[in-house]
Structure 1
């Protein structure tokens, strides 16, 4: 459903209280025993909705040249981590409700979705590693053509070979995936453990995504049966299921956006996003979904291995450099040397952007992975405490 169907609802964050939690407020007003605890809980839940809405409004305000860039993806993950932390506190403050129906089913389903998201995190980590391989090829091109006293055929041959390797790495997805498969490991493992002898061990670990693993199918599994809570469920849980639904949607969207941007196995963007305009975060989320889909439909992006802006810049720079390498004749004219310097400078800027962005991005993906694990562990502990109290 297009985001434009929901225009107008974004302006009123307070609508959420009236539309979903409003009946609870009315009930409390008519109750003989006013509940300070219930009012505090309601404020906490509304604050969570506002935070999600504000963060996604901020993300959706990005200009087209910034959307899906490395800094934007990092901002998206930062938003996820902040929402996850507030959600964790809501669960902690309301652990007595977690094992009561229908809350027990909602929270169990959320934890199941979050476990599925761990595989996406590992696949994205492989995609980041794959981009590092491209970065190395680009650095070879820079080394061959930059700061040379006199550029000769040998320099261009070396650059051309690196560009061919880069093209193979970017286009042949299956080949590239098998090349980085041995690096697919738990985020808890040290980077030093990349020895080829460990290949069999790493392939056998439960967190490794297999060669038949599909990002598209995983996203479908995360979003399966994700529908807004019914009014009676909202009432029965004092609105807590709404927070679980919201966090589930944030999880789904963030994983979908990562798969859209970063190379990974069997990427697919067919995930449907359906939600009611009564959720104040619906407009920015649907707007971002629509903009990312539009980007994927552009002719020059249709066959891309990832929609990340820096990947597009790598493709453009590599094409320009290839065309230049094919057209040079020796000895180089002054004009041609000027063209080479210009292309080398463009390439240097791309390499620096990728080099500066990938390490912080990987750290954030690792943090998302660990935070999901911790949240699930704490949630299951809360289940146990709730059962014990009952």
Structure 2
């Protein structure tokens, strides 16, 4: 089934290279040759860079996929794509202000606003992981290798383990509470942007208790249809670039929802047909395969570090159930080894969460700025 899909998508594997090439072959007018070549060179460079970035992400081995470093790389790729697309919008603002491109770019900006809510939900998920980090820290402090392990320290560690297990099981309710009380990225920033691009109603605060990641992803992907050849010709290939950026936006938001705890993730509700280009299709399939594994099936997030926390929590609980005092030397060594494993996970979370939150915040702000600048550029083109 996957192989058939890959074969079927080969014509669009580089996000429309072949369509753009066919369009160029059909340009016969000598007067328009130079202008068409300049525009097509810019558009093809954009398509190629997008394809290369996602091929690089797709080449990651199973150990790295969905780890915090991999997510950071994914978000960096998105930011680069967003910046290059911003330049395309600026350079082609005249064409984007006329049919049919005005509708296509307007739809993209609407999808961008929906993506902001996903960023807010992901921020709440990162905050939830921080709560688990605090429980890990309590366990590490209680069972510090510099101390002998007494019953008091052990009871403290056991309570933190129980709190951690409850917190991870109760993730959905915890996220609802966080969403109710946490601010989104840059309340003052959004107030400034509202003056220039209108109101982003729900975006001043984190998502509501009834918000659904699955429904938001479906809304972002709604009516996202690959360009037809005749439409590519009539728009000089510009609609392919807009479609590509829509496509990248949807996949990046879907991958974030897959990795980070958030409300009603519903990964399988996103229609596979959205993801046609080979690098993204491959990543989509690999992430779905991760979600189907027995030990990941009911996970609150597919982030590698979350999986490591769950494994450490289970191993520690199994060990603590067999502990009696005074500890034998063998049992104490076993506890020390489990604590050491937990320490590795703790350090990965401690080092990774702040950069991850900063990068999600940067994605949020880039989307807002790109939308504001795009609307302003197109508005000026219309007023001439």
**TM-score (normalised: structure 1):** 0.90
Answer whether contact 2:116 2:203 (CA < 8 A) is retained: no
Alignment of 1:369 onto 2:369: no
- Aligned with 2:342 (options 329, 344, 347): 347
Measured in 2, the distance between the counterparts of 1:156 and 1:12 equals: 58
Matched, 1:321 2:316: yes
Contact preservation (8 Å) 2:23, 2:232: no
Contact 1:119-1:207 at 8 Å conserved across structures: no
Candidates 42, 45, 53, aligned match of 1:44: 42
Instruction: Give distance in 2, aligned partners of 1:263 and 1:357.
Output: 16
Residue matched to 2:6: 6
Residue 355 of structure 2: aligned partner:
360
8 Å contact 2:221–2:274 — kept in the other structure?
no
SS of the counterpart of 2:31? coil
> Among 370, 373, 380, which residue is 1:378 paired with?
373
Q: Runs of 5+ in structure 2 lacking a partner?
A: 189-200
The 8 Å contact of residues 117 and 203 in structure 2, kept in 1 or not, is answered as no
Aligned to 1:333: 328
SS of aligned partner of 1:89? helix
Q: Distance in 1 between matches of 2:206 and 2:15?
A: 43
- 1:179 deviates by 3.6
Structure 1 position 129 matched with structure 2 position 127: yes
Which segments of 5 or more consecutive residues in structure 1 lack a partner in the other structure?
A: 191-202
Q: Does the Cα contact within 8 Å between 1:122 and 1:184 map onto a contact in 2?
A: no
C-alpha distance in 1 between matches for 2:202 and 2:49: 40
Question: Displacement, 1:183?
Answer: 4.3
Measured in 2, the distance between the counterparts of 1:38 and 1:116 equals 33
State whether residues 113 and 222 of structure 1, in contact with CA within 8 Å, keep that contact through their aligned partners in structure 2.
yes
Deviations 1:329-367 (A, max 9, x none): 111111111101111110100000001110000000000
- Pair 1:276–1:31, CA change in 2 (3 A): farther
Structure-2 change in CA distance of 1:10 and 1:305 (3 Å): same
Structure 1 residue 181: Cα displacement: 2.8
Cα deviation for residue 27 of structure 1 reads: 3.2
Could you report, residue by residue, the CA deviation over 1:169-210 in whole angstroms, capped at 9, with x for unpaired residues? Answer: 1111233124423443231159xxxxxxxxxxxx98744311
Report the equivalent of 1:235: 233
Name the structure 2 match of 1:172.
170
**What is the root-mean-square deviation in Å for CA atoms of aligned residues?**
2.2
Counterpart pick for 2:282 among 277, 280, 287: 287
Distance 2:258 2:296 in 1: 11
> How far is the alpha carbon of 1:235 from its aligned partner?
1.7
Instruction: Determine the C-alpha separation between the residues in 1 that align with 2:286 and 2:106.
Output: 32
Name the residue aligned to 2:147.
149
Which residue in the other structure is 1:96 paired with?
94
User: Who is 1:196 aligned against?
Assistant: none
Distance 2:208 2:9 in 1: 42
For the 8 Å contact 1:60–1:287, the answer to whether it is kept is yes
In the superposition, relative to structure 1, how do residues 34 and 80 fare at CA in structure 2: closer, same or farther (>3 Å)? same
In the TM superposition, what is the alpha-carbon distance from 1:385 to its structure 2 partner? 1.1
* Shift in CA distance, 144/47, structure 1 to aligned 2, threshold 3 Å: same
**Contact 2:74 2:252 (C-alpha < 8 Å) held by counterparts:** yes
Tell me the distance in 1 between the aligned counterparts of 2:90 and 2:246. 17
Deviations 1:17-72 (A, max 9, x none): 4x2123432233x2132432220110110111111110111001111111011111
Q: SS state of the match for residue 145, structure 2?
A: coil
Separation in structure 1 between the aligned mates of residue 307 and residue 25 of structure 2, nearest angstrom: 53
**CA deviation vs aligned residue, 1:74-95 (integer Å, no higher than 9, x gap):** 1100110001111111111111
After TM superposition, which residue ranges in structure 1, 4 or more long, deviate above 6 angstroms?
8-15
Q: Which residue of 2 aligns with 1:258?
A: 256
Report the alpha carbon displacement of residue 168 of structure 1 after superposing the two structures with TM: 1.1
